[in-house]
Structure 1
Amino acid sequence: MVVIVILGVLASLVVPNLLGNKEKADRQKAISDIVALENALDMYRLDNGRYPTTEQGLEALIQQPANMADARNYRTGGYIKRLPKDPWGNDYQYLSPGEKGLFDVYTLGADGQENGEGAGADIGNWNLQEFQ
């Protein structure tokens, strides 16, 4: 009986920490993905003189856009091997021109809705420092 009580106390101490670590790990993955996407977008711009349009989207990083004039110097093999999903299984969002910078790359967070709070907060290339 004493062993069960001790296990219960230990579980009550460990479980909240594990849940908090999951949220932190999810945020860190999103930050890493966004930084990688930013770097790939910058390489695209260096080669082609501009960022992909919103319509071309992040897919322009893995497959040359249909309009050759938009990507005259497109790299063989693209700029990133594959497009990551955010930690919650959703596609990253992309706007160019962005509302917060030259381009916006972001996740809608755990809730999948814009302007969420807490675990549902939007994480974007304009606010990464808030989540580190």
Structure 2
Amino acid sequence: MVVVVILSILAAIVVPKIMDRPEQARITKAKSDIRALEAALNLYRLDNMIYPTTEQGLEALVSKPTDSPEPRNWKEGGYLDRLPSDPWGNGYLYLSPGTQGTVDIYTTGLDMQSTDDDIGNWNLD
């Protein structure tokens, strides 16, 4: 009986820590993706003197925009091979100009709602 009580106590302590790992891994991946997208956007801006518009979106990192303003020095082959999906299976969102900074790159996460738990280039620390 004592062994069952001890195992129950250990399970109560260990199981929540193990169960939280997959969600933490998703958050870490989202932050990593956002950093990579931000780096690619900064290279785009260095080459073209502007960021893509919200309408051109992150797709401008993969294929050259044809609408105004057209990039003048778009890198042949693009800035990314493909756009990543967030760990919850959705595309990353992009605003230029951003509401949190010069540009905003973010995911709304599992709930797909713009709430305080969004992960964006303004809260990666």
Q: Which residue of 2 aligns with 1:83?
A: 83
**Partner Cα distance (1:27, 1:56) in 2:** 26
SS of residue matched to 1:18: helix
* 1:1-132 aligned within 5 A: 14-67=14-67, 70-116=70-116, 121-129=117-125
Superposition deviation, residue 20 in structure 1: 0.8
Counterparts of 2:106 and 2:82, CA distance in 1: 17
In structure 1, the residue corresponding to 2:23 is in which secondary structure? helix
Q: Distance in 2 between matches of 1:10 and 1:95?
A: 46
| Alignment-mate amino acid for residue 126 of structure 1 | W
* Structure with a larger share of its residues in helix: 1
Give the deviation of 1:40 after TM superposition: 0.2
**Structure 2 residues without counterparts, runs of 5 or longer:** none
Q: How well do the aligned residues superpose, as a CA RMSD in angstroms?
A: 2.2
How far did residue 18 of structure 1 move? 2.5
Compute the displacement of 1:67 (Å).
3.2
Calculate percent identity across the aligned residue pairs.
57
